[in-house]
Amino acid sequence: MSEPIASFRFAVNVTPKPGILDPQGRAVEGSLGHLGIEGVHDIHVGRRIELTVEAADEGAALAVVERLAGELLSNPLIEAFAIERLTETSDR
């Protein structure tokens, strides 16, 4: 008895929580002057992880991604994450 398996592609966006130090964001802001760019602010730099999950259905795949995002891909003390379902095929 074999369970049908499908591929689901997701992105996990990990960003510093509000109030948490964001040195990369400050570095980008500090570089704007060199490019002569004005009017850009509130820059936050985080990570984006794209991945493919094999699962019986999208709900099961999402559960795997949620566990990964909370336990491996982010530090819940200082970072927040958001999960996106990507429609691109996973044959990249």
Residue 83 makes contact with a copy of itself by CB under 8 A: no
Residue 80 lies near a copy of itself (rule: CB under 8 A): no
Which among 58, 87, 83 is positioned nearest to 73, based on CA atoms? Answer: 83
Name which position in 20, 26, 50, 78 contacts a copy of itself (CB under 8 A).
Answer: 50
Window 3-42: contact mask with a copy of itself (x via CB under 8 A): --x---x-x-xxx--x------x--x--xx--x-x-xxxx
Size of the site for a copy of itself (CB under 8 A): 38
Closest CA to 5 of 69, 79, 55, 80: 55
Q: 6 — phi, psi (to 5°)?
A: -130, 165
Taking a C-beta distance cutoff of 8 angstroms, is the pair 58, 26 a contact? no
Residue tagged 């990507």 (tokens): 86
- Residues near a copy of itself (CB under 8 A) are 5, 9, 11, 13-15, 18, 25, 28, 31-32, 35, 37, 39-55, 64, 67-68, 71-73, 90, 92
